[in-house]
Amino acid sequence: MTDLQERRAFTKGFRKGLSMDRKDRELVDKVIAYEQEIYSDLITKECKCVRCGGNEKLTLDHIVPKSYLRDFGVNPEHETIEGNYQLLCNLCNSFKSNKPDFTLPKTKEIFLSLLEKIK
């Protein structure tokens, strides 16, 4: 089971367990569908880990972690940041954890775009 499938199963359970208003449910479903689409696109195009080049147990990783997005006023459960996704194998994703990787130029670009939103 991929991380997106696990997230979808968790979200279904979340929706059953807690009452969400219709608008929140639609936003969560939209983000999940978008992330599944991105994951499918990345798997068909790249099909390897960005860091180590491995091709087993690939997961969808947020280049700028969700906790940082929240600090910039973005709710990652309801909205997405274009280009904030990459494929990492399970081991590299665990190693990266909840930290941004500033060796990637894309990380800096995303942070700059988030700063522009604040201005």
Specify the higher pLDDT residue, 11 or 90. 90
Tokens encoding 74: 């973005």
- CB within 8 A of 85, min separation 6: which ones? 35, 38, 39, 42, 60, 61, 62, 63
| Residues 46-79: tens digit of each pLDDT | 889 999 999 899 999 999 999 999 999 888 888 8
What is residue 8's predicted lDDT score, i.e. its pLDDT?
Answer: 67
Tokens encoding 65: 């972690």
Beta strands in the chain (DSSP E): 58-62, 85-89
